[in-house]
Amino acid sequence: MAVGGGAQRLRTRRLSLLLVSVLLVGSVVVGEDPSSSSGRGERDLYASKLSGIIIPGFASTQLRAWSVLDCPYSPLDFNPLDSVWLDTTRVLSAVNCWLKCMLLDPYNQTDHPECKSRPDSGLSAITELDPGYITGPLSSVWKEWLKWCIEFGIEANAIIAVPYDWRLSASKLEERDLYFHKLKLTFETALKLRGGPSLVFAHSMGNNVFRYFLEWLKLEIAPKQYIQWLDAHIHAYFAVGAPLLGSTESVKATLFGFTFGLPVAEGTARLMYNSFGSSLWLMPFSKHCKADDVYWKHFFGEREGHHHTYHCDEIEFQTNYSGWPTEIINIELPSIRGSDAFPSILDVAQDMTSNMECGRPIQLSFSAREVSDGTFFKAIEDYDPDSKRLLYQLQKYYQDDPVLNPLTPWERPPLKNIFCIYGIDLKTEVGYYFAPSGKPYPDNWIITDVIYEHEGALFSRSGNSVSGNPGAVSGDGTVPYNSLSWCKTWLGSKVNITRAPQAEHDGSDVQISLNVEHHQGEDILPNMTRTPRVKYITYYEDSESIPGRRTAVWELDKANHRNLVRSQVLMRELWLEMWHDIHPDATSKFVKKARRGPLRDADCYWDYGKARCAWPEYCEYRYAFGDVHLGQSCRLKNSSTDLLLNYL
């Protein structure tokens, strides 16, 4: 939008700090005394120190060819640096060649003999996966964020992307690419270059990567220096859409295939997905089971063949579903080929025997624990050729990982500020029914039914009744609620809860409950009302349980997992929170929620019912050449800096 030059420059300067702070390009200066300077000069000082780290999610980094591959019957060959993930043109015209560049050996995670791919580097690797007039907007991830940064004059060295080969398991990322060594150097370089610690913004599986990094770092540096290093290099961690207990969609991708919206068959997608060592990283697991402490191995010299022993609480065996809403997998097997096929299914042994005599198919159910510990894959080993490969990966890259078994619950990391953010109340898959298809591998299974959670209820695609323990709300359309909300266990015994509309509001519909009791290990739910057809954001905030540390959980109604990083509401809240953090006059522990007004010109619009710009205390009608409708001429008033003071 075009505005007067002087006014535009003034507003740009006033808002630049706000946008610097939140678009993952901000952090707070350690050791600076806020009272040593005042007003604009101090904020400029903070702005000069800001930096940030972006860790993308699964399939959110471009992969490029690092080979020359001739593709018969196609004019599109692969040459070094050609785009592999994602290039829909090559997927359509030369899918077999494309698969060679994507597939990995399932046992040793090496590339195909004829083609290898490597992750792209820099910000371009995470903005648009498939640039183009049509495909670009459809594959855009972080592009809008970067546009805002550039618009407000953010320095290029303040934004640091750390893309990775999302096909690899954590240990292979370090072994092949030294990824975690490089990530440590990235934090240290940012501190030296900018003068302050960084924000970490991780989306989806990027949170799993960051968790592994923290555990790897614990073994890499002296124990006494670990917390000091974290405090010096990381100011805040934003966990967005984190699958903290896994995701059931990974089960569907493993047995049936998940196409990512590409024009490929499910069987082809399954073949590709199961070759990745990371395919098990998102598997659902029990919240009641933990592995042994890795320090025993590290300090007592056990280097080879170490197995992380599972320790499950008694509640795991006293209750059903491993803390999930229902059984993850219900599968029909054609026959029984010996008891070894089901090593730990003791409860159904008698039923299996009777079914063997009658020659009927067997219906078996598996919980999250039985998926993550390998019981399920052992059970179908005689019926699925992928099972042996998956069992090998499970043991080598997860159960025997030298740093961490990722398929275990995550306790609160020892970081100063943690914000766990996710969407709720969308229809989300939580369980599946599989049966043999009668076709050869990789199309040998079909999905006969799907179990969903939605707004506190369970139902099936077929309409059949579903038994289970649904949560109070549902997930974000990809990750179930119980997995997303695990970070609520990081909150202390007293929590402040605020519920407010996502849209701009005057505070009349804000509800606040202070010092709500929270019992460890249990979900915490607000006793608050909802107005129909209004989307809310609910804040759970704790700044008292751990001195000097803050923990917050934000739940956004109807926010989709894959689109959450593009949410205007999320961006606004991040801006305000970081503005609050760096401002010397801030008096509250968290940003105030009493009201939300427009922060940008784009937030102003024309109210046709009142024949004026909406939010007249914030916006005014000011035409500029090029405006084509009334809404474009509604712009923020010159006192935009003053309105930001309302949120301190």
- pLDDT digits 0-9 by tens, 559-611: 999 889 888 899 889 888 877 887 888 888 999 998 898 888 888 999 999 99
Res. 293: pLDDT tops 90: no
**83 inside domain:** yes
CATH for 140: 3.40.50
- Residue 131's domain comprises 51-240
Comparing CA positions, the residue from 555, 595, 593 lying closest to residue 577 is: 593
Any idea which of 27-36, 194-203, 463-472 has the lowest mean pLDDT?
Answer: 27-36
Whole-number Å distance between alpha carbons of 552 and 38? 29
Helix (H) or strand (E) holding 419: strand 417-424
The CA R_g of the chain, rounded to the nearest whole Å, is 26
For the chain, the farthest-separated pair of C-alpha atoms sits apart, in whole angstroms, at: 87
**158 inside domain:** yes
What six digits make up the tokens of 464?
A: 């059949």
**541 inside domain:** no
Last residue of a domain, one of 240, 270, 294: 240
Whole-number Å distance between alpha carbons of 56 and 75? 32
CB 442 within 8 A of CB 271: yes
Whole-number Å distance between alpha carbons of 229 and 118? 30
**634 inside domain:** yes
**628 inside domain:** yes
Last residue of a domain, one of 220, 240, 260: 240
Q: Where are the beta strands (DSSP E) in 204-270?
A: 234-240
Q: Where are the alpha helices (DSSP H) in 409-510?
A: 481-484
Last residue of a domain, one of 222, 240, 258: 240
Interacting residues of 194 by C-beta distance below 8 A, sequence separation 6+: 27, 48, 49, 50, 51, 157, 158
- Strand 550-557 relative to strand 536-542: parallel, antiparallel, unpaired? antiparallel
Reported as a pLDDT band with limits 50, 70 and 90, residue 9 is: very low
pLDDT attached to residue 303: 47
Per the confidence metrics, is the pTM higher than 0.75? yes
- pLDDT digits 0-9 by tens, 477-523: 999 999 999 999 999 999 999 999 999 998 999 999 999 999 988 89
One DSSP character per residue, 258-321 reads --TT-SS-HHHHHHHHTTSGGGGTT----TTEEEPPHHHHHHHT--SS----EEE-THHHHSSG
**431 inside domain:** no
For the chain, how many structural domains are there in total? 2
Reported as a pLDDT band with limits 50, 70 and 90, residue 150 is: low
Q: What are phi and psi of 45, to 5 degrees?
A: -60, -45
Reported as a pLDDT band with limits 50, 70 and 90, residue 261 is: confident
Comparing CA positions, the residue from 573, 624, 629 lying closest to residue 605 is: 629
DSSP-assigned beta bridge partners for residue 35: none
**341 inside domain:** no
Any idea which of 79-83, 192-196, 256-260 has the lowest mean pLDDT?
Answer: 192-196
pLDDT attached to residue 627: 93
**490 inside domain:** no
- pLDDT digits 0-9 by tens, 329-382: 999 998 655 444 434 444 444 444 444 445 578 999 999 999 999 999 999 999
Any idea which of 59-63, 132-136, 473-477 has the lowest mean pLDDT?
Answer: 132-136
Q: What is the mean pLDDT of residues 315-324?
A: 91
- Strand 612-613 relative to strand 606-607: parallel, antiparallel, unpaired? antiparallel
Task: From residue 209, give the alpha-carbon distance in Å to each of 168, 239, 243, 281, 310.
Answer: 11, 11, 11, 10, 21
